[in-house]
Homo-oligomer: A and B are copies of this chain.
Amino acid sequence: MIDKRSGCPINLALEVLGDRWSLIVIRDIMFGNRRHFRELLTRSEEGIASNILAGRLKRLVNAELLSRRDDPAHRQKGIYSLTGQAIQLLPVLVQLGAWGRRHLPAAPEQALRQRLVEEGGPPLWTAFADELRHIHLGTPLPEGRESVIARLQAAFAQAAADHRNEAAAKDDKQGAGAR
């Protein structure tokens, strides 16, 4: 399946994941729950091209990072799910995002989502992974536990609204000053 350059675990991981799109596709499925080709294509913030997306999905299915099954609701559509080993990439994505947030010009709203995930630390990542296993693999969730994904989305929506309000207040002030 893979043409191995060396047996170093870092190299092996990069041989499977080390192109600029594979981890982006996994990110969109993991954090955005985009499960169909169309959603992954049209909602892509990075504007992935259709042929690249198709190639990456096929490659990720071959590498057993994604599985594909027919959508019972739409005969022509496939649903993509993360496999167990793809869900274990969560800490890699968190560390990669943490580094990007610190050293590169991240957009405020996306930096915020990243910060919430980082600040939750390993307990949040474990709960997030449990929830991903429930969504993608159908494993049962611990009973009575609040959804981490819902909590993150609520915190994110709240912070995004605060951010918009602050920006609006600033505009008002500048508008008043100019009058």
Q: Does A14 contact B (CB under 8 A)?
A: yes
* Chain A, 1-56, CB within 8 A of any chain B CB: 2, 4-20, 23-24, 27, 45-47
When the two chains form the complex, which single residue of B8, B14, B23 contacts A106, counting CB atoms closer than 8 Å? B8
User: When chains A and B are docked, how far (Å) is the Cα of A10 from the Cα of B23?
Assistant: 9
Q: How many subunits of this chain does the assembly comprise?
A: 2
Q: Determine whether A91 belongs to the interface, using a CB cutoff of 8 Å to chain B.
A: yes
Q: Contact between B16 and A19 (Cβ–Cβ < 8 Å)? A: no
- Whether the Cβ atoms of A110 and B7 lie closer than 8 Å is yes
A contacts with B, residue count (CB < 8 A): 46
Q: Are A9 and B91 closer than 8 Å at their CB atoms?
A: no
- Interfacial residues of chain A within 39-92, with CB under 8 A of chain B in the complex: 45-47, 85, 88-89, 91-92
The answer to whether A100 and B9 have CB atoms under 8 Å apart is yes
